[in-house]
Amino acid sequence: MRTAAAPKFYETKKFKDNLKQTIIFIVLLAGSVLVLSPLWWMISTSLKSPAEIAQYPPTFVPKEFHFSNYVEAWKTAPFTRWAMNTLFIALCGMAGSVLVNSLVAYAFAKIRFKGRNALFIVVLSTMLIPGFVTMVPQYILFSKLGWVNTYLPLIVPAFLGSAFFIFLLRQFMMSIPNELIEAAVLDGANHLQIWWHIMLPLTKPALITVAIFSFNGAWNDLLGPLLYINDESLYTLQIGLQTFKGTVQTQWHYLMAMSVMVLLPVVLLFFFFQKHFIEGSNIASGTKG
Amino acid sequence: MIQRLLAGERVLRKKEKTSRRRMSRQTRENIFGYLFISPWIIGFLGLTLGPLLFSLFASFTDYNITSRMNFIGLDNFKRMFTIDDLFKTSLWNTLYYVLFSVPLTTAGAIFLSVLLNQKVRGMKFFRTLYYLPAILSGVAVYFLWMQLLSPSTGLVNTFLAWIGIEGPAWLFDPEWTKPALLLMKMWSVGGGMLLYLASLQGVSASLYEAADLDGAGVMQKFFYITLPMISPIIFFDVLTSTIGAFQIFQEAYVMTENGSGGPGNSLLFYNLHMWNNAFEVFDMGYASAMAWLLFIVVMVLTIINMKLGKKWVHYEGEIINENCRSTEVL
């Protein structure tokens, strides 16, 4: 296609595009190193000996791999128990979040009841209230109910709906055609049946998003257990890890090994459900759905 | 006679029944609606509105869990501004953090999303990778950063040493503790990035083509097309991250000795101070007053944000339609 007046090769659009792409690729690659290096450092430290950690200048790859750090760290405290406790709370909370928020979202999306829009604005505005404002009275409430040192304060709120999840699920449900519901009504179904037989299966991607987010939230929650749990046998991983720091202050190899193990389920969940994580955030932005 | 009466009654009853059924369609919708949202209503009354009103009331008392609630007027609020020096420190620390973290993370997230919106090989991989830190949180991550920021043997100062900079003592130097937390925050900027990415993909390519024809440069296109088109999301992100930044607590609680607030109280954030008042010395009245002041500050800022937002948030017809469809009441 070259003619006599053709531009020199480095002036062509194709070359410029390629150059731009290469530069961006290199920038992104360099950024990846920055993003990943903390994680690399965590794993590398978790495999070092205490002497090597204190050494200057620091090493990037451990001279000797002390895999036993992981076993020893896990044995320093009842971590198995704490992991089970955390799993139990997270799974209960997940079940509550998925069922209740979907029920509430269905009402806001598809049932035309009086005052619906006004109430939905109330739902949204609760997202603006800093959690700390309600924390003290909630603590007093739960302690008067005798719930301190039980898992109830950590699980029950999940069964009472969360503004963010209601919003996310409602956004998703709005995109499901009303005709489907009208047809079911003609067939004599009530809303409970429609929700269970039609809505739940159709909103599965959004429900998975809610499930993952709520699991992650419960797994990483420090504040709740810190407030309500006193007995060591009832500790969650986060609070266990937090107190672990005080007792084993300088033993960074153990601390990092524990950190890797606590983060591992979250990372695995992320890679397994990566698509849903990313879609979930997109739905939440309100630009899609 | 009796039979007739009975028959008539039956007819009447039947009529009543059908008319009730006809009338009840809306009533039934109402019943189902309120039944379905009842968990949220219970939660709202019990865990939000009730506590909100309780803490408002408690803020005018000297409540400490064991005592009666004695009404002491505005004494709690007076105490904040006159007696409690740590209050001012904590307020200043928090404002510092909000003031820097919100613009930095917003700009960082936008920059990253524009980069990740280009057509480059392996983009899906890069997006996943940059998002990864955003899902990692909790105590383990704080421990990791304490290790990374370790003055002599940490990774951050090792990097800095390579380029000839002697890194500060970070968490041990009162002047560098807050920048240390900002650095940590920047690592997980991927969460916001994803919001912007979704929004960028909605920007019509024809706008850029038109700008190309007019000979616009990269920067011009960014400032005159990209930014205005994604401004509704910027607005949303600034609003939520401001509210979030005011709530900074866990980082400081975990990364300082026993939640003390770090060297020279440099990490004593508002919520940490409030927490100590509420759950260390059980001064619930004072903590409630602090909570309400924070609530008012956040509300005022949100309202200012919304008023200012009207000036710079750009709603293209297309976007308005899109938003109306998906959020209806908004």
> And the tokens for B119?
């057509």
The pLDDT tens digits for A30-84 are 999 999 999 999 999 999 998 898 887 888 899 989 999 999 999 988 999 999 9
**Is B295 in contact with A161 (Cβ distance < 8 A)?**
no
Provide the pLDDT for residue A85.
97
Provide the pLDDT for residue B286.
95
Quick check: B50 contacting A, CB < 8 Å? yes
Distances B143 to A221, A227, A239, B138, B200 between C-alpha atoms, Å: 15, 20, 13, 9, 35
Give the Cα separation of A69 and A258 in Å (integer).
9
pTM to 2 decimal places: 0.87
**Is A263 in contact with B50 (Cβ distance < 8 A)?**
no
Quick check: B114 contacting A, CB < 8 Å? no
**Is A241 in contact with B294 (Cβ distance < 8 A)?**
no
Is residue A98 a contact partner of residue A207, using CB atoms and an 8 Å limit?
yes
Alpha helices in chain B (DSSP H): 2-43, 50-58, 75-82, 85-115, 123-135, 139-148, 155-162, 177-187, 190-200, 205-213, 218-221, 227-246, 250-255, 270-275, 284-312, 317-327
Give the Cα separation of A120 and A138 in Å (integer).
23
CA A10, A13, A18 angle in degrees (round to 5)? 75
Query: Strand, coil or helix: what is B315?
Result: coil
**Is B158 in contact with A223 (Cβ distance < 8 A)?**
no
The pLDDT tens digits for B227-267 are 999 998 899 889 889 999 999 999 999 998 777 888 999 99
Is residue A148 a contact partner of residue A228, using CB atoms and an 8 Å limit?
yes
Which residue of B lies nearest to A216 if distances are taken between CA atoms?
B135
Quick check: B59 contacting A, CB < 8 Å? no
The more confidently predicted of residues B206 and A6 is B206
The more confidently predicted of residues B67 and A45 is A45
The whole-angstrom distance between A285's CA and the closest CA on chain B is: 6
- Classify A101 in phi/psi space as left (phi over 0), alpha (psi -120 to 50) or beta: alpha
* CB neighbourhood size of A116 (10 A): 19
- Cβ partners under 8 Å of residue B84, min gap 6: none
* CB neighbourhood size of A183 (10 A): 13
The pLDDT tens digits for B73-105 are 899 999 999 999 999 999 999 999 999 999 999
Taking residues B202-220, report their average pLDDT: 88
Is residue B80 a contact partner of residue A167, using CB atoms and an 8 Å limit?
no
Provide the pLDDT for residue B141.
96
Quick check: A112 contacting B, CB < 8 Å? yes
The whole-angstrom distance between A15's CA and the closest CA on chain B is: 14
Give the Cα separation of B261 and B30 in Å (integer).
51
Binned at pLDDT 50, 70 and 90, residue B318 comes out as: very low
**Is B295 in contact with A54 (Cβ distance < 8 A)?**
no
Q: Tell me: pLDDT of B53 over 70.
A: yes
Query: Strand, coil or helix: what is B71?
Result: strand
Give the gyration radius of chain A's Cα atoms.
26
First to last CA, chain A: 45
CB-count exposure of residue B248 (10 Å: 0-12, 13-18, 19+): buried
Give the Cα separation of B323 and A285 in Å (integer).
10
DSSP string covering B52-67? HHHHHHHTTB---SSS
Place of tokens 């429900």: A207
Q: In Å, how far from its chain's centre is CA B58?
A: 25
**Is A130 in contact with B329 (Cβ distance < 8 A)?**
no
User: How many interchain CB pairs under 8 A, A with B?
Assistant: 274
The more confidently predicted of residues A6 and B180 is B180
Pick from B307, B297, B185: which is nearest to B251 by CA? Answer: B185
The pLDDT tens digits for B214-229 are 888 888 999 999 999 9
Give the gyration radius of chain B's Cα atoms.
28
Low-confidence ranges of chain A (pLDDT < 70): 1-7, 246-250, 280-289
> And the tokens for B216?
């616009």
Residues 117-136 of A with CB under 8 A from B: 117, 119-124, 126-136
Q: In Å, how far from its chain's centre is CA B86?
A: 25
Provide the pLDDT for residue B6.
55
Which residue of A lies nearest to B57 if distances are taken between CA atoms?
A137
Nearest to A161 among B40, B115, B295 (CB): B40
- Output b/e per residue, B91-115; b: 16+ Cβ within 10 A: bebbeebbebbbeebbebbbebbbb
Give the Cα separation of B231 and B312 in Å (integer).
8
- Cβ partners under 8 Å of residue A212, min gap 6: A269, A273, A276, A277, A280
Chain A interface mutation, best of B66, B152, B153, highest count of A Cβ atoms under 10 Å: B153
Contact list in A for residue B180 (CB cut-off 8 A) is none
Residues 198-237 of B with CB under 8 A from A: 198-199, 202, 233, 236
The whole-angstrom distance between A112's CA and the closest CA on chain B is: 6
**Is A220 in contact with B116 (Cβ distance < 8 A)?**
no
**Is B132 in contact with A126 (Cβ distance < 8 A)?**
no
Which residue of B lies nearest to A58 if distances are taken between CA atoms?
B153
The whole-angstrom distance between A100's CA and the closest CA on chain B is: 7
Distances A68 to A40, A65, A241, B45, B306 between C-alpha atoms, Å: 18, 9, 19, 51, 55
Contact list in A for residue B48 (CB cut-off 8 A) is 126, 129, 134
Give the Cα separation of B309 and B231 in Å (integer).
9
Q: Amino acid identity of A190?
A: N
Provide the pLDDT for residue A282.
63
Contact list in B for residue A24 (CB cut-off 8 A) is 115, 118, 120
Provide the pLDDT for residue A231.
95
CA A64, A65, A69 angle in degrees (round to 5)? 125
Contact list in B for residue A272 (CB cut-off 8 A) is none
- Cβ partners under 8 Å of residue A88, min gap 6: A151
DSSP string covering A46-103? HTS-HHHHH-SSPPSS-SS--THHHHHHHHTTTHHHHHHHHHHHHHHHHHHHHHHHHH
**Is A255 in contact with B195 (Cβ distance < 8 A)?**
no
The whole-angstrom distance between B6's CA and the closest CA on chain A is: 32
Length of chain A: 289
* Average per-residue pLDDT for chain B: 87
Give the Cα separation of B76 and B82 in Å (integer).
10
Which residue of A lies nearest to B237 if distances are taken between CA atoms?
A285
Contact list in A for residue B54 (CB cut-off 8 A) is 137, 140
CB-count exposure of residue B49 (10 Å: 0-12, 13-18, 19+): middle
Give the Cα separation of A4 and A142 in Å (integer).
84
Place of tokens 């100590």: B276
Residues 140-199 of B with CB under 8 A from A: 140-141, 143-145, 147-148, 152-155, 158, 161, 187, 190-191, 194-195, 198-199
Provide the pLDDT for residue B113.
94
